[in-house]
Structure 1
């Protein structure tokens, strides 16, 4: 049996998620990568999975899950519901009273055929067909937030209704008998997908970070976090309403060389309109093999007519660790860490050493460590990297109900230069451990937006006799140096700074937006760096350049990174204060 300790957000836990709003609320932004596609690979295909496998997963839950008193009734309900959703037409399990009330309020939503397995049952099977909870093709983020809130309220009402009726393993078995019967009528002989769905539902009832994962899917997702390359034009796109907008071209890449600018709206690709098209489909149309051409029709502010750009695709390198010395800030380094994969600490140390070699005096004056959109990874990598920046103090404590607590303390670190850390809503788990360790030990100033807020630890387990899938279970919580947990609350930056000071705040997707997340534990934690930040703020107001640089060119080709500009203002003031 394999056990690995991970602390990351659930990028693969939603294979059979029945609520359509869950993972779609992340910031809708993509690099043009060759592996982006609107069609999800069926990684479970060819993996046999039956009743015995489902039973084995439940045994693992009993042995390893953080909360032995989890709601078993809800687990059986979700197992049944997920299996029913795999039928064609689809069905859903609803409490009888809930169904009767809901039908009166939403006839279109609950107008399908209904049947009972037994007259005495207090639940019904409702034929959903192809209807159900769906997002409109185009929706702004404010509307998306409202839809998500409506979905949450309905889901909570449904789960509350299930608490009033009996439903256990025997009821689940009767539902599965119905599922198998319908599947046989449709000519299906292999019931694997129904048991995979049932198992997924059971495990998803625990918390959003527990899951069963095909080994191939896990391995592929890990490779995508590592250094890689893709073929495309080299631009970051974002979706705003019906428009696909170039967030920024990547410097030196085909999009940049062709003359595309931040803020350009893509109207058509190879002569075909992409207005209102999902972002993933736009990406699919633009990407392609190296050396081939793609023609983009662009609408640009200030131009009377739409512009045409013919761009030759190229191979673009993507690195888990990216590092450079920053222009106009002598001997100040920048390191961006994409994820805490195996060897991440060594890669960061190597990158810093390379930066030091490029400085005039063979030393860095300061460092910006960019953890934005770092979704986490290996616990030990987060601890070892934090240790490089700290001389003493607690890094993190891990508390497991069945084992003794573990507290990880810093030893003499390698670096003494001032540090600023950048975070946002995509900063999660292992990245939050590093950020909170540096913040609470007063080693770095944290700048940006509140982080994701996931303070739980998962272990990756192999079933006893299989190697084609994993069981990922939440086994512990982690706590910062002060003894508080950032579950739900996230890391609060010392300096709140939006991505774009001129735009309205966009709804972000965080832990609190996930169904069945671990509860928040209240704490009396008070910010530890208020005095330091207050002093630095005065310096930044006098000498800071971020606002001036950002406002200097209202239509830049490459969009300035405002949060990085602010981070540099604070870092320069930190260096000045410390006499660097």
Structure 2
């Protein structure tokens, strides 16, 4: 018995010794890390005090600290930043759908401001600003070396005032200036119209209004066409949509899905990941859908396009999207400011991250650039066409009834409208053609 107790005691002592041997270096490592952090914070304090005491001009300590905080955040990635109380308030206003400015969504690349997309109907859109444009100067002042928020501040100003931005555009040999009059930006999240027998839903942003606008607009246009039986399909136009609220992207995706995953987010810690699933109910009632995207489709737009593509619920047409696959969380701070911090990446239902890759369309369709020509040149290039019907003394076709003649005239009018749409918006016309083809294959008479 004594031997047994002695053995047990030795075992306990040995276990304690081993634990101590392993734990001691780990504790020392943690203590060293903490010591390094405190040393760096002391260094920051020393620099701050020297600037405040010895800089050639007196500095505003509040501005100095905010600049240091923003520098720390912007060093992480282009989407993390500090929001001053004014910026935080402006961001809340933007998600409600009305704010002042030029109407462009921007990011930063190579030190310059890059346009993600102009918003429909805004001063920037009307001035011809395009997705992918680089803004190098604002009113003659270079934006190189400024943070994104500082560059955006330069572009802000009173409604009705003029701003001149210098733009560098791919395919254009020289930079050029664009004059824009600042205005109050009132965003209509969804604009709907009908093209032939298709409903076109143009989603410009994902704010608090988006899903409600989409649902009501779709119902209105279906009724306008004479009911679901008359609808050939839906075009969801997400081109130049810079994104917005994740919750709204989930709702819009869910609007056309009955089940399955919409998107998942994965952060630094596995337990912080989230998965969002569709609920039963399809606003389109199974009608075919074509999603239009381009290089200006970002973030929430890519969530919707990726979800509908992975579930084979829609055909995605256009060009590769922007490739913003990260999620930012806005965290309120003392003093009414906020911190916008990248906290996770999102993944489409098939498990792919589109960060820096974008969503690739099922069918790549470029939007041809317009090359304006004079009316005289256009007529010379396209001489008027002639047919049997134009010939004097032609024979009449007496084999058709009045109803058949009426149908032919309607078909001709539809073809002429399609040709006009193809000239105005080639990608949208392509999408409408796809829906018509699917309707024919499905036996529809629309």
Per-residue deviation, 1:169: 3.7
Q: Does 1:396 align with 2:267?
A: no
Aligned-partner Cα distance in 2 for 1:333–1:549 = 17
Aligned-partner Cα distance in 1 for 2:435–2:228 = 19
Instruction: Return the match for 2:436 from 559, 563, 572.
Output: 572
User: SS where residue 315 of structure 2 aligns?
Assistant: strand
Instruction: Return the match for 2:346 from 471, 478, 482.
Output: 478
Instruction: Return the match for 2:45 from 173, 184, 188.
Output: 173
Per-residue deviation, 1:356: 1.5
User: SS where residue 471 of structure 1 aligns?
Assistant: strand
Per-residue deviation, 1:192: 1.0
Per-residue deviation, 1:544: 9.7
- Equivalent pair of 2:295/2:320 in contact (CA under 8 Å): yes
Per-residue deviation, 1:218: 3.3
User: SS where residue 334 of structure 1 aligns?
Assistant: strand
Aligned-partner Cα distance in 1 for 2:94–2:418 = 35
Query: What's the RMSD between the two structures over aligned residues?
Result: 4.8
Q: Which runs of 5+ in 1 are unaligned?
A: 1-71, 77-166, 235-247, 254-259, 264-275, 290-313, 504-542, 553-559
Structure 2 counterpart of 1:488: 356
Count residues in correspondence: 317
Aligned-partner Cα distance in 1 for 2:329–2:141 = 38
Larger Rg: 2
Q: 1:544 to 1:458 in 2, by over 3 A?
A: farther
Aligned-partner Cα distance in 2 for 1:261–1:214 = 30
Query: CA offsets per residue over residues 216-251 of structure 1, 9 Å max, x none?
Result: 32332443454449899x9xxxxxxxxxxxxx9x99
Per-residue deviation, 1:430: 1.5
User: SS where residue 376 of structure 1 aligns?
Assistant: coil
Instruction: Return the match for 2:365 from 497, 502, 510.
Output: 497
Aligned-partner Cα distance in 1 for 2:90–2:156 = 19
Aligned-partner Cα distance in 2 for 1:502–1:444 = 28
User: SS where residue 368 of structure 1 aligns?
Assistant: strand
Aligned-partner Cα distance in 2 for 1:383–1:443 = 15
Per-residue deviation, 1:460: 1.2
Instruction: Return the match for 1:351 from 200, 217, 239.
Output: 217
What is the 5 A alignment of 1:316-331? 318-326=187-195, 329-330=196-197
Aligned-partner Cα distance in 2 for 1:571–1:485 = 29
Structure 1 counterpart of 2:206: 340
Q: Which runs of 5+ in 2 are unaligned?
A: 1-32, 104-117, 130-139, 143-151, 162-182, 372-413
Per-residue deviation, 1:378: 2.0
Q: 1:342 to 1:484 in 2, by over 3 A?
A: same
Structure 2 counterpart of 1:187: 58
Q: 1:374 to 1:231 in 2, by over 3 A?
A: closer
Q: 1:460 to 1:448 in 2, by over 3 A?
A: same
Aligned-partner Cα distance in 2 for 1:467–1:485 = 36
Q: 1:411 to 1:579 in 2, by over 3 A?
A: farther
Q: 1:475 to 1:261 in 2, by over 3 A?
A: closer
- Equivalent pair of 1:544/1:569 in contact (CA under 8 Å): no
User: SS where residue 360 of structure 2 aligns?
Assistant: coil
Larger RCO, structures 1/2 (Cα 8 Å, 6+ apart): 1
- Equivalent pair of 1:546/1:562 in contact (CA under 8 Å): no
Instruction: Return the match for 1:563 from 417, 420, 427.
Output: 427
User: SS where residue 244 of structure 2 aligns?
Assistant: strand
What is the 5 A alignment of 1:462-477? 462-463=332-333, 466-477=334-345
Instruction: Return the match for 1:361 from 227, 246, 249.
Output: 227
What is the 5 A alignment of 1:112-151? none
Structure 2 counterpart of 1:406: 274
Aligned-partner Cα distance in 2 for 1:215–1:413 = 41
Aligned-partner Cα distance in 2 for 1:373–1:432 = 11
Aligned-partner Cα distance in 2 for 1:480–1:426 = 19
Query: What TM-score, normalized by structure 1, do the two folds share?
Result: 0.46
Aligned-partner Cα distance in 1 for 2:193–2:254 = 22
Query: What TM-score, normalized by structure 2, do the two folds share?
Result: 0.59
Aligned-partner Cα distance in 2 for 1:324–1:547 = 15
User: SS where residue 50 of structure 2 aligns?
Assistant: helix
Instruction: Return the match for 2:250 from 373, 379, 383.
Output: 383
Aligned-partner Cα distance in 2 for 1:284–1:172 = 32
Aligned-partner Cα distance in 1 for 2:98–2:341 = 28
In terms of fraction of residues, the more helix-rich structure is 2
- Equivalent pair of 2:52/2:58 in contact (CA under 8 Å): no
- Equivalent pair of 2:422/2:429 in contact (CA under 8 Å): no
